[in-house]
Chains A and B, each alone.
Chain A
Amino acid sequence: MKARTEMKKQNVLVIGAGVAGMEASLLLANAGMKVFLVEKDSLIGGKTIKFEEVYPNMECATCMIAPKQQDVLQNENIEMYLLSDLGKVQGSAGNFKVTVNKKARYVSLTNCIGCGACYEPCPVSLDNEFEEGLSKKKAIAVACPGALPNIPAIDPENCLHLNGKKKECKACQEACMFDAIDFTEKDETIDIEVGAILVATGFDMFDVTALAQYGYGKFPNVYTAMEFERLYAQNGPTEGKLILRDDRALKSIGIIHCVGRGEQGYCSGVCCMYSVKFAHFFKHKATEAKICQFYKDLCIPGKSHQRFYEDAHDKEVAFIHYEDIQVEELKGNLQISYEDGNGKKDSFKADMVVLSPAMVPRKETERLAKTLGISQDKRGFFSTQNEQLSPVTTEKEGIFVIGCAEGPKDIPDSIAQAEAAVGKILSSFQ
């Protein structure tokens, strides 16, 4: 108990800078704590910044999140480690010793002003993962317009100078007016001491290529929900234009819910709502299109969600309950063949199919759980001490888990968990 009263209690490590991690960091910093925020990507904001609009009020997600991102980046009590990962963790509550492995960015956060003059001259073209591979990026790039910090990072595996394939290429460095590019930057290992650890590592999406029945990867116009989000986004690869992979005009769309639910063994709780959101999207940009939603159970819990669902209903939007479903190609058209709960079979012709996959644990979860000495539940998410009464506390004192790292949930629930963990930390460490 004595260790807790020493200075280290004032430091908290937050792993993951998505909405949950950012919210927790800001509250802790405002309460006077020192926060070390570790993020594996080169930018902050998590998955939320990929969305053009969020339900149920169809607010612009980037506009909503950008002020929080700015606050995080400018807060003096928050020390950001981007492109960073957790190394070793030793010690116990009140007195953890942690190593952070920080990869080189090769671009100075203080010198760079984000003018983007370095992208154009770079000769390397790569798939942009942030854009779900729907667009290309250079070996020096920011993920998307509006990314924060608005400072590029160099991909050392693909940069011709850094991987040694063309040592003399310094195109980006020559283009930079601010002396911001430093090829000599090295990966670092940083030791920090903290009183508490907050795990906010988010989720991955179920890999739909594993299920042949949906034709993903085989038929070009079958999209995942995340791909569709980027396709719709103004700052995305098509600047928000709904252009199909084969340039076909969009007249009918099938949205399939519950993809991977059977395999994962749980309902992700948010897919029905964002699928309904897609119907709202289509009403803006493909006004004539016929939309068909295929669901197993409509899960629209909460006081404002049913209304959102009802508002999406009109003559162009149908909701069909299915038990079995398959996506096929017929004479150059996509066809969704389904069987409903009463054994009736039918089909729907679609120009585009959007799959709403289950939210699954991040692939790093197992390694992180081992490093931290906490356990996973049978689905692979981090488990909590008692799901009923201690929802953000893990079995190891001083370590908390929040947001989708604990299981699928929506943005407000993730934020509430972040605030709750701050409550728990400040309540037990003061």
Chain B
Amino acid sequence: MNGQIGVYVCECGPNIKDRIDIDKVLEEISSIENVKIAKRSPLLCSVDGKKFLAEEIKKEELTHLVVAACSPRDHEKTFMNVCEESGLNPYLFQLVNIREHCAWMISDKDAATSKAIKYIRAGIKRVAFHESLEKKQLEGNPDVLVIGGGIAGLETSLSLAGAKRRVHLVEKTEFLGGMAARLTQLLPQQGSKLSLIKEKIEQVKKHQQINVLTSCEVADVRGFLGNFEVVLKSNANGSEEREIQVGAIVVATGFGLFDPQRSSDYGYGENDNILTALEFEEQVGSGKVLLKNGKKPKSVALVHCVGRKERGYCSKVCCLYMLKFAHYLKDAFSDLDVTEFYVDLCLPHKTDQEYFEEAKNKGIRFIRTEEVKVKGKKEGIEVEYRTDGKTDAIQVDMAVLAPAMIPSEDTSKLASMLNIPLDRTGFFKEVHEILDPISTPIEGVYTAGCALGPKNIPESIVQSQATSGKIFSSLIPGKKIEPEVKVSIIREEFCTGCQTCLSVCFYGAISFDPVKGISRVNEAICRGCGSCVGSCPSGAIRSKHYTYPQLYREVLEALR
């Protein structure tokens, strides 16, 4: 290399000055090959310090810059900005942390000084191999595709359209509203009625910014944030296909319900008066809660946690809607005997417990059980339960089962089409379960509502509004998208086409070119994590700014 490297050691007030012999450091490093100049400065992050650095870059005609100072968390960005303003590509810079790693760590000044020399030498040797990296800018389409016309899809569409975004809302069935539209009451504490869902459906249908496509499915998706091409297939008129362009996609495909017939414990199908929660809800909606023979029920069992054991999780909403059912029944027939069989009451929202206590005061019986079996017989229904190790049973006219919420049937198909992962329960997986609960690993693809896992209507609405918040802040009309600069690249001549990299890429940035028999990285999608670099058996992939020569020389010098 024929570079001119400038090395600047920051005194950081007394923090580095008092604990490291900076003159000795400068003496040692100034003789290293390609080091044009090595200097000290009292506080490089200060206004004067930055000005000094900028002047030095120009005056000394530096091609590379090393700053020995604090943690990159504190000031890497500061010094990269100085480079940029002084006409030096910011990637031709290396920050060496001699404060946290040397000065603050080691009380012996000689030891701290010799460690600092090693680290700075490592930085100098590394920076000599740095290459200029240029930021790219891509146009982004601000339009959004929303998949699923349930409550989450409706809310997402309205929220996006409110900011004048063009929305394509695709719904597989003929109707909007999803599962919520099949309920009689939403949250009965507040008397929220179905009409509220109907109002939302009407708003969506009327909205000029929302293109509603019912009886329609997504057939294929290609592209990345800001530039997705989507093939839609209409089921209405034969199977007509069309293509649309969008910048982001929201998956709001909802949930399915556990089939109680998968276990003989619940007696479903054995007696006509054993109903699922949804069947019961529809009966309530029709205005008549009656036995199949048309008679009024005298006793009803409400059985929680149906399928929880099989699925391995609690569905969160069943306890509350079973309380709602108890209220329905008691309001309709006050002399009715209602018993709830539960394992643990899951009432996590602030208003839930009060609702439970109201139910208790209406004379509803609650039995905590370890195990429940519902047996449908010709003459009636028997609920056998075990509590505190003892088995007991009661006879009822009607039993309502609360089945677990499970992933909707299209989940895995959509996951492979969109290249987004599923978690162990079969729902879509969040990119980060805690910090980023509605994003997927594919930038520009978001999920909302029960497609991610069981949740109630308010939580689905929150997640839907959240997707719009994320989209408004990452895909802004008129603003270019800047993809990651430090991406992976595959050298064609070394790639054997084994496709190992495809399986490790969390972001779906790698595809296989069957014509050439090699893998390719889409630089617009790659986030530079480096997983593929490590996985490649033939060493064909390198990561910009983390190349083998850069890392090798850096480590070598640090260990020397």
Partner of B462, one of A178, A381, A392: A392
Minimum CB–CB distance for B260 against chain A, Å: 19
Q: With A177-B13, A420-B465 in contact, do A428 and B162 touch (Cβ < 8 Å)?
A: yes
Contact with B along A378-413 (1 / 0, CB 8 A): 010100001111111000000000000001100111
Let me know if B190 and A59 touch, CB within 8 A.
no
Let me know if A416 and B349 touch, CB within 8 A.
no
Let me know if B465 and A113 touch, CB within 8 A.
no
Alpha-carbon distance A408/B467, docked complex (angstroms): 22
Alpha-carbon distance A215/B7, docked complex (angstroms): 62
Residues from chain A with Cβ under 8 Å of B354 in the complex: 265-266
Residues from chain B with Cβ under 8 Å of A184 in the complex: none
Let me know if B425 and A304 touch, CB within 8 A.
yes
Residues from chain B with Cβ under 8 Å of A341 in the complex: 368, 388
Alpha-carbon distance A125/B44, docked complex (angstroms): 35
Let me know if A302 and B190 touch, CB within 8 A.
no
Contact with A along B452-464 (1 / 0, CB 8 A): 0111011101111
Residues from chain A with Cβ under 8 Å of B474 in the complex: 30
Partner of B472, one of A26, A304, A422: A422
Interface stretch of the complex, out of B82-90, B130-138, B427-435: B427-435
Minimum CB–CB distance for B223 against chain A, Å: 22
Let me know if B388 and A267 touch, CB within 8 A.
no
Let me know if B433 and A301 touch, CB within 8 A.
no
Alpha-carbon distance A377/B351, docked complex (angstroms): 10
Nearest to A64 among chain B residues (CB) is B435
Residue A426 lies at the interface, judged by CB distance under 8 Å to chain B: yes
Residues from chain B with Cβ under 8 Å of A56 in the complex: 433
Q: With A303-B427, A416-B437, A420-B469 in contact, do A388 and B187 touch (Cβ < 8 Å)?
A: yes
Minimum CB–CB distance for A340 against chain B, Å: 8
The residues in B between 350 and 405 inclusive whose CB is less than 8 angstroms from any CB of A are 350-354, 368, 387-388
Let me know if A420 and B313 touch, CB within 8 A.
no
Alpha-carbon distance A417/B351, docked complex (angstroms): 18
Residues from chain B with Cβ under 8 Å of A28 in the complex: 473
Nearest to B425 among chain A residues (CB) is A303
Minimum CB–CB distance for B431 against chain A, Å: 12
The residues in A between 326 and 353 inclusive whose CB is less than 8 angstroms from any CB of B are 340-342, 344
Contact with A along B427-453 (1 / 0, CB 8 A): 100100111111000000000000001
Contact with B along A355-382 (1 / 0, CB 8 A): 0000000000000000000000101010
Residues from chain B with Cβ under 8 Å of A57 in the complex: 433-434
Residue B186 lies at the interface, judged by CB distance under 8 Å to chain A: yes
Interface stretch of the complex, out of A38-46, A85-93, A236-244, A292-300: A292-300
Using a Cβ–Cβ cut-off of 8 Å, how many residues does chain B contribute to the interface with A? Answer: 70
Residues from chain B with Cβ under 8 Å of A321 in the complex: 368
Nearest to B104 among chain A residues (CB) is A115
Minimum CB–CB distance for B504 against chain A, Å: 20
Partner of B77, one of A74, A261, A340: A74
Let me know if A266 and B461 touch, CB within 8 A.
no
Interface stretch of the complex, out of B331-339, B340-348, B543-551: B340-348
Partner of A381, one of B163, B187, B350: B350
Let me know if B346 and A299 touch, CB within 8 A.
yes
Residue B238 lies at the interface, judged by CB distance under 8 Å to chain A: no
Residues from chain B with Cβ under 8 Å of A389 in the complex: 186, 192, 196, 200, 457-458, 461
Let me know if A299 and B348 touch, CB within 8 A.
yes
Residue B294 lies at the interface, judged by CB distance under 8 Å to chain A: no
Let me know if A430 and B163 touch, CB within 8 A.
yes
Residue B514 lies at the interface, judged by CB distance under 8 Å to chain A: no
Partner of A377, one of B164, B350, B454, B472: B350
Q: With A54-B434, A416-B459, A422-B469 in contact, do A267 and B348 touch (Cβ < 8 Å)?
A: yes
Residue B491 lies at the interface, judged by CB distance under 8 Å to chain A: no
Let me know if B13 and A379 touch, CB within 8 A.
no
Residue pairs across A and B with Cβ atoms less than 8 A apart, 20 shown, are: A31-B476, A117-B14, A177-B14, A295-B344, A302-B455, A303-B425, A304-B423, A340-B388, A341-B368, A407-B349, A416-B459, A416-B463, A419-B469, A420-B465, A421-B465, A423-B467, A424-B159, A424-B465, A427-B163, A430-B163
Which 9 residue pairs of A and B lie closest in terms of their CB atoms, listed nearest first?
Answer: A269-B348, A419-B466, A422-B469, A427-B162, A423-B469, A420-B465, A301-B316, A423-B468, A303-B453
| B interface with A by C-beta (< 8 Å) | 12-15, 43, 45, 73, 77, 159-160, 162-164, 186-187, 190, 192, 196, 200, 308, 312-316, 344-354, 368, 387-388, 423-425, 427, 430, 433-438, 453-455, 457-459, 461-470, 472-474, 476
- Seed contacts A267-B347, A391-B458; 18 additional CB < 8 Å A-B pairs: A28-B473, A113-B12, A115-B15, A299-B344, A303-B313, A305-B313, A307-B424, A388-B186, A389-B192, A389-B200, A389-B457, A390-B461, A392-B462, A412-B437, A416-B459, A417-B466, A421-B465, A426-B469
| A interface with B by C-beta (< 8 Å) | 26-28, 30-32, 54, 56-57, 59, 64, 66, 68, 70, 74, 113, 115, 117, 177-178, 261, 265-270, 295, 297-307, 321, 340-342, 344, 377, 379, 381, 386-392, 407-408, 411-413, 415-424, 426-428, 430
